Amino acid sequence: MSVTLSRAEPSIAEVGDYVALMKPRVMSLVVFTAFVGLVIAPGHLHPVIGLTALLCIAVGAGAAGALNMWYDADIDARMARTAARPIPAGRVAPGEALAFGLTLAGFSVVVLGLLVNLIAAALLAFTIAFYVLVYTMWLKRTTPQNIVIGGAAGALPPIIGWAATTGSVAIEPVVLFLIIFFWTPPHFWALSLYRAEDYARAGVPMLPVVAGEAETRRQILLYTLLLAPLGVAPWLLGYAGPLYGIVAVTTGAAIIALALRVRAERRGYAASKQMFAFSILYLFLLFAMLLVDRLSGGLFGHFAV
Amino acid sequence: MTAMSEAMKKPETGIKLTKRQLRARRARSIAIAVSLGVLVVLFYIVTLVKGPGVLVRPL
């Protein structure tokens, strides 16, 4: 009874708590990769429509984040990294987060469909549904392959951006999808190596918890060996210039070298922490170079009214 | 008439918000208003940009 009464108490949630529910750091990466997909796509897109598409993708990503935090509040409460999130900290009620997430999801998809195009809206709806239903509700608690398959949701934004401009899907954004898809496991497994106790306490079957450190380090190397050539693919396929190629080859070699160090690491997690930090820089550099490549070809020509 | 005046004299029995709750509610209300305002402006601008073809949405 007391629980019921406390749940009925008026909310103390601040605006900042709702912003935190949207996982702004994840959102910024989603918006950035979607922006790159949108800019490198052939054809013309009015800047207002382009900004509308990015706004909808950002809000859609925020909706997925809020719904994830709603469902995973029990896990978040048991992990040091996430215990201060709005729901486990008691600042936002689970029902508030659920309503917030569903409202944002609905608005983002409908507005994207009405103001941009239906393919982009359908892809955004699929991305949110995949992240919430497949990753959060199903895979995360049941298999160490959770972030491998679930990573597809985080890899889709460049395709949505491309679809916003062209109204279709092509091989170029699919390569960008594959880059993020194969980037996700080494990125998160590097983190999970030195957070394994946290994940074990929360009952999340991350690879180091289920298969051990040695196997995780081996898998990080295998996925990185697949990732580095994929990073070079946009240059090899001819839709990125030599500057991109140079950056992709050098950073690709650097991330393989780091993965080898992670594989060889026997004590401590220095290499794993470096791998985690560098993987963020690696992905950012690849997409930033694609952007530079396109901008040097004339942004204003692309955004013709 | 007497019953009405008696009812008016009764103290309020509903939930009284604390200062923190009032402040948080006000901030949330402003954020919702701003969001709706942005949505209205967005639809207005896109209508101007797209012109008569505003409802034409290529697949």
Give mean pLDDT in consecutive 10-residue pieces for chain A, a chain of 305 residues: 52 93 95 96 93 97 97 94 94 95 98 94 98 96 94 97 96 97 97 92 93 96 98 93 94 98 93 97 96 72 42
Q: Where does a domain end: A127, A151, A167? A: A167
- The answer to the question of residue B28 being in a domain is yes
The closest alpha carbon to A72, from A12, A9, A13, A140, belongs to A140
Q: Are residues A122 and A224 in the same domain?
A: no
CATH assignment of the domain containing A224? 1.20.120
Question: Would the CB atoms of B57 and A46 count as touching at under 8 Å?
Answer: no
Q: Are residues A162 and A55 in the same domain?
A: yes
State residue A2's pLDDT score: 37
- The answer to the question of residue A2 being in a domain is no
Tell me the C-alpha distance between A191 and A62, whole Å.
22
Domain count of the fold of chain B: 1
Rg (CA), chain B: 23
Query: A218-236 in b/e burial notation, b at 16+ Cβ within 10 A?
Result: ebbbebbbebbebbbbbbe
φ, ψ dihedrals at A88, nearest 5°: -60, -25
Q: Are residues A77 and A179 in the same domain?
A: no
Tell me the C-alpha distance between A24 and A234, whole Å.
28
Rounded percentage of chain B residues whose pLDDT exceeds 90: 46
Question: Would the CB atoms of A10 and B58 count as touching at under 8 Å?
Answer: no
Question: Structure pTM?
Answer: 0.89
Q: Are residues A251 and A275 in the same domain?
A: yes
Q: Are residues A114 and A32 in the same domain?
A: yes
- The answer to the question of residue B4 being in a domain is no
Domain residues for the domain of A118 are 14-167
Tell me the C-alpha distance between A1 and A6, whole Å.
9
Q: Are residues A162 and A175 in the same domain?
A: no
Q: Are residues A286 and A255 in the same domain?
A: yes
State residue A283's pLDDT score: 97
Q: Where does a domain end: A136, A167, A198? A: A167
Tell me the C-alpha distance between A15 and A108, whole Å.
19
CATH assignment of the domain containing A22? 1.10.357.140
Domain residues for the domain of B39 are 19-48
State residue B16's pLDDT score: 85
Angle, helices A270-296 vs A171-194, to 10°: value is 160
Q: Are residues A201 and A96 in the same domain?
A: no
- The answer to the question of residue B36 being in a domain is yes
- The answer to the question of residue B11 being in a domain is no
Q: Are residues A189 and A261 in the same domain?
A: yes
Q: Are residues A239 and A99 in the same domain?
A: no
State residue A10's pLDDT score: 84
- The answer to whether residue B23 scores a pLDDT higher than 90 is yes
- The answer to whether residue B1 scores a pLDDT higher than 60 is no
Domain count of the fold of chain A: 2
Q: Around A15, how many Cα atoms within 13 Å sit in the side-chain half-sphere?
A: 11
Tell me the C-alpha distance between A293 and A280, whole Å.
20
Question: Would the CB atoms of B21 and A167 count as touching at under 8 Å?
Answer: no
Which parts of chain A fold into alpha helices (H)?
A: 2-8, 15-21, 24-40, 47-71, 73-78, 94-115, 118-129, 146-155, 157-166, 171-194, 196-202, 207-211, 213-236, 242-264, 270-296, 299-302
Structure tokens at A129: 């549904």
- The answer to the question of residue A1 being in a domain is no
Q: Where does a domain end: A152, A167, A182? A: A167
- The answer to the question of residue A76 being in a domain is yes
Q: Are residues A23 and A163 in the same domain?
A: yes
State residue A182's pLDDT score: 98
State residue B56's pLDDT score: 65
Least confident interval from A157-166, A229-238, B3-12, B48-57: B3-12
> Residue B58: which pLDDT band, with cuts at 50, 70 and 90?
low
The closest CB to that of A117, out of B25, B45, B59, belongs to B59
B57: which chain A residues are within 8 Å (Cβ-Cβ)?
Answer: 113-114, 116-118
Chain B residue whose CA is closest to A163: B59
Q: Are residues A115 and A238 in the same domain?
A: no
Which parts of A79-195 fold into alpha helices (H)?
A: 94-115, 118-129, 146-155, 157-166, 171-194
Chain B residue whose CA is closest to A119: B59
The closest CB to that of B46, out of A10, A48, A117, belongs to A48
